[in-house]
Structure 1
Amino acid sequence: MHGRPRKAPKPEEAAASAVKAANLRSLQAQFLHNHHNKTYTKEALDVSAKLLEINPEVYTAWNYRRLAVEHNLSQSESDPDSVKSILSEELRVVESALRQNFKSYGAWHHRKWVLTKGHSSIDQELRLLDKFQKADSRNFHAWNYRRFIAALMNKSDEEELKYTTDMINSNFSNYSAWHNRSILLSHLLGKRVQGFFPKEKVLTEEYELVHQALFTDPDDQSGWFYHIWLLDQTIKSDAPFLISSWPAHGFDLIVSVDKSPDGRASSPFTSFHSDTGTFPLILYFSQAVEGVNSSTITVESMLNSTNDLIWRPLSTNNSGTAQAWATNLNFPNVKLHSLETYPVKVSLGHSQGITSSSGFHYSHPSQFAFTVCVRPPNSEHGERQGVENILWRDENFHIYGTHFQESIPVVSFDQLSIKEDPEPTASNWHVQTIANEIALFRELLSEIDCKIGKLTLARLLMAHDTMMLYNSPNAYKVVHSEEVLELYRGLMKLDPSHSRYYKDEHSLVLFLQVTSSRESLLKHCCHYRDSTSTNIGGHICLRLNNLSLSRIGSVEQLLWVQMLDLSHNELQSIEGLEAMQLLSCLNLSNNKLSSCTALEPLRRLKSLKVLDISYNEIGAHSIDTTRYLCSSPLSHTFGGDWSFDDIVIDDVKVRNYWEAFVIFSGLNLTQLEVVGNAITDEKFKSFLVKVMPTLKWLDSEELH
């Protein structure tokens, strides 16, 4: 275990093991007989005690003893001495079991259960803990139990914090002590206990403490994990705030029920086509929140009444919390050739109700406004316009250059984000602290080659850029991204066993680099025009293909995107796309998507019409690690009235393709590419055609 080779046992050791195994089998047989017959005599309990003293991991034996205790207590309720004797015996059995294995989950859990009965003294528990923590000061079972005992004894967080300080000073290589310290400080900072406010003063002292551990032995990782927690406390605001929306503040939104009839490319930022007569309003928060509804969000417009709006979380976990929330506003009922604009003002934070998963309220009132102009439908254009086949060929994409500028309204990039004036994202202390940490770790890495030091430096550099970008989106340019990308490339080579994590982080940095400014974003924007198409309208496509991306990030800056090319990357998940409610055309071809359930975020994209998932790995893996996360019968989130055995489409039972049915049956696709996946055969394609009656093109063939 843990890389240590096993040694062949000596003959006498093998003989002793055989005797022990025979004894264990005999005890187990007796114990199971007693358990089956609900025998709770002293002799029966002695058998289970002997079994647990040899092997504390027999969970059934602990469950049996709980049943026995409950039974015997019910017979002795009128005798306090008898009750105390029964529970004291349980504590003795647990202590004996812990001497055999002081990391036994079952033993520690049973001891907690006994103490919750309330008839046992807890005075000696801390002494017992000291004994076990001297044997292994990092034993997280003992630390968890200590928190339980401290709560029973009403010990203050300050006292327990001092204990962690003593343990760290004794030996800083103690993951559990650092972890317990983070829990205690979270409580103290959250309650603003005297001596633990302001937060900046406390965190500064904690940085000084952890530096002693990091610079004494950089190869010991226990302190590094605490440093990660400190970094998180430094860069994150407790209360959630709004960081992006669509439409954005100051937008002059143009909506239409048909596509651009005049041959000009529409602005990728300010126009939207919909055949449903509605357009989405999207709010993107700094962290996952709940409580977004018509009571906490006020929308003032002639388009809808606030009370008519139904807000939905854009998340795949069905938890009711999400970073992104959306509702739909109706198009104004306009007459032909009408060019009237309609103002919309959105306000939030004026009443409590929006809260983060950690319980903090959205507490800074804010608002943004935009206008809506509806382009009247062109009846002639509508008659001649058919459903065109989108061809994702390089020759059909033209760099979004200066020759398009006259027909595209210029939008200031800072309009894509909402800046909170009441409380700046990054105060001077936060920025200076991160800058100091960067300088320290640059110095450390100049002297030693430390893997986790490089990882920490990468995190610090990105934290600095992110804070500055959100604080001054129009003035600050991301300056550390190339250095961070190089650090992650080096870590992939240095530590190949964790290369997937480094690659994911590398991808997030690339996304931030691309979306950090208008100039960098426009380099990836292309005008789509198929020379063979009869459709004189155009599309603006954000092309992030061939970038070796393995994870999607910076979605808050991409809410405006309607056509997205993520082909020829290394994506195994598309988590995050669910927030991009305007997406109508999406290319995910030549990635590493291994199952239909990996496409779960697409179920939230009601505007999606064109999808290319060709040449992935769907159906190539016998084990699907995402199927229990997807809304499905297996996760009990798809509805209990579904019986897939009863649904047959063209002699194919839906149960054979239930993952595909769950994903695709709710989509309104007109074009789908699935060629090149292991699952794709004629039967599967026929199934897809039946499941999606709106489909007009399948694998570049027009359906009739």
Structure 2
Amino acid sequence: MHGRIKVRTTAEQEAIKKVERAKKVIQYKAAINLVFQKRKDKIYDDEMLMVTAEMVLQNPDINTIWNIRREAFEKNNWTSEEYEERLNKELRLTENCLRENPKSYGVWHHRCWIIDHLSKPDWKTELSLCAKFLNFDERNFHGWDYRQHLVKKAGISDEEEFEFSTAKIVKNFSNYSSWHYRSKILSKMFPDKSGKLPINPEKHKEELDLVMNATFTDPTDSSAWFYQRWLLDYNKSSSNALWLAKVTKNKIIIIFHDNTKIKADSITLVRKCVKQDGSIVENDMNSNVNWYSYNNKDLSRVWIAQSTTFLDDESDVENNEISSETMYIKFGNEIYDLHKSKESNSWYYKSINLPVEKHNDDQLKEQMDNYKQLVEMEPNNKWAILTGIFLMKNYDSVKYHEKILQDLSALIKIDSLRANYYADIRSKYIIDNKLLTFWQEENNFEMNSVIDLSNLELTNLYNEHFFSIFEQINLSGNQLNRSLHRLVALQNCKKLLLSNNKLKNLKNFPILPNLEYLSLRYNELTNIEEILNLLKHHNIITLDLRDNPLWNTTLVPQQILNIYPNLEIQMD
């Protein structure tokens, strides 16, 4: 036994650690009390700076302590030379802290503050330090953000940063942060004037070749694939032009291509009449009308106004007092001529642009052919299959619609952990395709008020604003239990079919002011209070609740009819 080092037992080691922790807690509390008392007394002396320096070295994520140190620099009356010297010491302090925690928000923020206050920062040293941290961890986004801050302050050219990102990518195709950084630089250096691509076509092709090399080198790495998605699935739109408009006697519904803000004085509905004597009369039909968005937001794609005077009594036309009339909407500097419906007392506007834009590009076709080869070599590579789907959609979504759905079904099996994600993509593409074909087939001289989206296995309702114009919408036979909140766009809907949608509750069902007929048949509803609450906020005339767990042919209908005796309940 003699001469051997005594090994402490686990219990002894834990006891020692407990004593050490208690000692540190006491020291920390004493330091905190000291610092906060000095702050209260506005004493920002060397003792405070020394204590706070020790604190951040032990734990650099205490943002309050960094704030107090910045206060000390602002409150002290140091000479210019001393101020600069202390800032340089502060740089060394943050560098020591970053060695302990290179991803500390507080430390990187404080270092940016120091650089902003130094009269002559050493840019070369700072960039070298930044590169050192990025070599240690290429995905440290704090380091990339700090580099962007340095580049902006030092006036370093985009060309130099482009070369830096290229070197990082060539060294490691898996460097996601470098790809992302590269996208920001390229957008500034090579903008596409048409707005259809993230960068100009020539550079776009070069980048596609680069990223293709990366994806073929390592098909399983996600970094290059995400960059490629940015190149291929880019969709920039700043248009606030009208897409659809419908005017009835007491309502205007306008759907824009993009989120738009409107006010009563920024949009005008005008009726222009030519009388028998040749005189022309123009009347503003929506003066003092309040516009509101369907989602109650300042920026929206759907805007609605209600009144009793949008369409005047047409007896003057029938009495031959007026030979012709036209209507138009003026928004900004644009005039949108309305067409009069022959089937109903309404006027409407349709944009010549379809809601789903079709792309035809030689680059896309070339990419499709290349990734078809990759899929043949790597049939279970989810990234290659997913990229092929995006390529087909952007190239010709109608022609490749069935192939897209087949590949999405394959992805659901290959990557089952993300099955819901692929199912939602599938829903979006089905809705896009349905809208596209619907408008292609519709009579250009009328506006259809009925659309059928039943039995499409939709798991989510996308682009719901496009359905704001319809009065009858069939969504039966889908799986929209997670999308009830999106129905808020259906402000013009009178008849809504939601049968067989696996609905377990109606908690997110929005208020639809025009709803008269609602079918909730073949769902999983169990709470009659939710039904009563829904009826309370709507003027529903006909309700179908059959084949739900709550349904009872005698009790449930009678309970509802006791409260709403004029309601028509569908019975077996």
- Measured against the shorter chain, the TM-score band is 0.7 to 0.9
Cα–Cα, structure 1 residues 104 and 597, in superposed 2: closer, same or farther, change >3 Å? farther
Q: Secondary structure at the match of 1:345?
A: strand
* 2:136 partner letter: A
2:294 is the alignment partner of 1:314 = yes
Give the aligned partner of residue 184 of structure 1.
185
Of 366, 369, 372 in structure 2, the residue corresponding to residue 439 of structure 1 is 369
2: distance between equivalents of 1:542 and 1:433?
Answer: 36
* 1:598 partner letter: N
2: distance between equivalents of 1:117 and 1:695?
Answer: 75
2:313 is the alignment partner of 1:344 = no
2:393 is the alignment partner of 1:462 = yes
Give the aligned partner of residue 280 of structure 1.
252
Could you tell me whether the CA contact under 8 Å between 2:187 and 2:198 is conserved in 1? no
Could you tell me whether the CA contact under 8 Å between 1:298 and 1:306 is conserved in 2? yes
* 1:281 partner letter: I
* 1:205 shift after superposition: 1.7
* 1:163 shift after superposition: 1.8
Deviations 1:352-392 (A, max 9, x none): xxxxxxxxxxxxx573431156969xxxxxxxxxxxxxxxx
2: distance between equivalents of 1:686 and 1:163?
Answer: 74
2:429 is the alignment partner of 1:509 = yes
Q: Secondary structure at the match of 1:549?
A: coil
Structure 1 window deviating more from structure 2 (30-39 vs 513-522): it is 513-522
Q: For structure 1, which runs of at least 5 residues remain unmatched after alignment?
A: 1-8, 248-252, 256-276, 352-364, 377-414, 467-477, 523-538, 621-655
Cα–Cα, structure 1 residues 11 and 695, in superposed 2: closer, same or farther, change >3 Å? farther
Of 462, 466, 478 in structure 2, the residue corresponding to residue 569 of structure 1 is 478
* 1:568 shift after superposition: 3.9
Could you tell me whether the CA contact under 8 Å between 1:582 and 1:607 is conserved in 2? yes
Give the aligned partner of residue 312 of structure 2.
332
2:512 is the alignment partner of 1:608 = no
Deviations 1:259-288 (A, max 9, x none): xxxxxxxxxxxxxxxxxx413332230x32
1: distance between equivalents of 2:318 and 2:240?
Answer: 37
- Structure of greater relative contact order (alpha carbons < 8 Å, 6+ residues apart): 1
Give the aligned partner of residue 385 of structure 1.
none
* 1:586 shift after superposition: 1.7
2: distance between equivalents of 1:616 and 1:492?
Answer: 25
* 2:435 partner letter: T
* 1:617 shift after superposition: 7.2
Give the aligned partner of residue 547 of structure 1.
456
Cα–Cα, structure 1 residues 614 and 161, in superposed 2: closer, same or farther, change >3 Å? farther
Give the aligned partner of residue 323 of structure 1.
301
2: distance between equivalents of 1:619 and 1:47?
Answer: 62
Could you tell me whether the CA contact under 8 Å between 2:561 and 2:567 is conserved in 1? no
Of 282, 286, 289 in structure 1, the residue corresponding to residue 260 of structure 2 is 289
2: distance between equivalents of 1:463 and 1:674?
Answer: 41
Give the aligned partner of residue 367 of structure 1.
336
Could you tell me whether the CA contact under 8 Å between 1:94 and 1:107 is conserved in 2? yes
Give the aligned partner of residue 4 of structure 2.
none
Deviations 1:223-244 (A, max 9, x none): 11111111133xx354326473
2: distance between equivalents of 1:543 and 1:15?
Answer: 72
* 1:127 shift after superposition: 1.6
Cα–Cα, structure 1 residues 337 and 65, in superposed 2: closer, same or farther, change >3 Å? closer
* 1:597 shift after superposition: 5.6
Cα–Cα, structure 1 residues 231 and 71, in superposed 2: closer, same or farther, change >3 Å? same
Deviations 1:303-335 (A, max 9, x none): 74365554433336x2x2223334457232245
Cα–Cα, structure 1 residues 418 and 489, in superposed 2: closer, same or farther, change >3 Å? same
2: distance between equivalents of 1:63 and 1:242?
Answer: 48
1:617-636 superposed matches below 5 A: none
* 1:162 shift after superposition: 2.4
Q: Secondary structure at the match of 1:219?
A: coil
Structure 1 window deviating more from structure 2 (45-54 vs 207-216): it is 45-54
Cα–Cα, structure 1 residues 694 and 131, in superposed 2: closer, same or farther, change >3 Å? farther
> TM (normalized to structure 1)?
0.64
1: distance between equivalents of 2:12 and 2:212?
Answer: 51
Q: Secondary structure at the match of 1:552?
A: coil
Give the aligned partner of residue 204 of structure 1.
205
Instruction: State the structure with more CA Rg.
Output: 2
* 1:494 shift after superposition: 1.4
2:421 is the alignment partner of 1:450 = no
* 1:299 shift after superposition: 4.6
* 1:165 partner letter: T
2: distance between equivalents of 1:191 and 1:479?
Answer: 27
1:597-676 superposed matches below 5 A: 598-599=508-509, 602-603=510-511, 605-612=512-519, 667-671=538-542
Cα–Cα, structure 1 residues 323 and 165, in superposed 2: closer, same or farther, change >3 Å? farther
* 1:442 shift after superposition: 1.1
Could you tell me whether the CA contact under 8 Å between 1:288 and 1:322 is conserved in 2? yes
Could you tell me whether the CA contact under 8 Å between 1:589 and 1:615 is conserved in 2? yes
Give the aligned partner of residue 648 of structure 1.
none
2: distance between equivalents of 1:608 and 1:101?
Answer: 58
* 1:608 partner letter: L
Structure 1 window deviating more from structure 2 (11-20 vs 545-554): it is 11-20
Give the aligned partner of residue 162 of structure 1.
163
Q: Secondary structure at the match of 2:508?
A: helix
Cα–Cα, structure 1 residues 191 and 416, in superposed 2: closer, same or farther, change >3 Å? closer
* 1:207 shift after superposition: 1.1
Q: Secondary structure at the match of 2:338?
A: strand
Aligned pair count? 525
2: distance between equivalents of 1:166 and 1:366?
Answer: 52
2:488 is the alignment partner of 1:582 = no
Give the aligned partner of residue 98 of structure 1.
98
Cα–Cα, structure 1 residues 511 and 521, in superposed 2: closer, same or farther, change >3 Å? farther
* 1:453 partner letter: A
* 1:65 partner letter: W
Give the aligned partner of residue 632 of structure 1.
none
1: distance between equivalents of 2:539 and 2:357?
Answer: 40
2: distance between equivalents of 1:465 and 1:306?
Answer: 41
* 2:492 partner letter: L
* 1:133 shift after superposition: 0.6
Cα–Cα, structure 1 residues 56 and 592, in superposed 2: closer, same or farther, change >3 Å? farther
Deviations 1:391-427 (A, max 9, x none): xxxxxxxxxxxxxxxxxxxxxxxx9962259xx9667
1: distance between equivalents of 2:383 and 2:27?
Answer: 48
2: distance between equivalents of 1:209 and 1:496?
Answer: 30
Deviations 1:128-166 (A, max 9, x none): 101101101121111111112222222233332222122
Give the aligned partner of residue 352 of structure 2.
419
Structure 1 window deviating more from structure 2 (145-154 vs 220-229): it is 145-154
1:389-408 superposed matches below 5 A: none
Cα–Cα, structure 1 residues 463 and 16, in superposed 2: closer, same or farther, change >3 Å? farther
2: distance between equivalents of 1:463 and 1:174?
Answer: 27
Cα–Cα, structure 1 residues 153 and 579, in superposed 2: closer, same or farther, change >3 Å? same
* 1:245 shift after superposition: 0.8
Identity percentage of aligned residues: 24
Deviations 1:421-472 (A, max 9, x none): 9xx9667xx5222222222211110111211111111122122235xxxxxx
Q: For structure 2, which runs of at least 5 residues remain unmatched after alignment?
A: 1-8, 274-282, 443-447
Give the aligned partner of residue 142 of structure 1.
143
* 1:667 shift after superposition: 4.6
* 1:560 shift after superposition: 4.2
2:389 is the alignment partner of 1:490 = no
* 1:344 partner letter: M
2: distance between equivalents of 1:553 and 1:130?
Answer: 43
* 2:483 partner letter: S
2: distance between equivalents of 1:618 and 1:90?
Answer: 63
Q: Secondary structure at the match of 1:516?
A: helix
* 1:290 partner letter: K
* 1:418 partner letter: S
Give the aligned partner of residue 88 of structure 2.
88
2: distance between equivalents of 1:345 and 1:567?
Answer: 37
> TM (normalized to structure 2)?
0.77
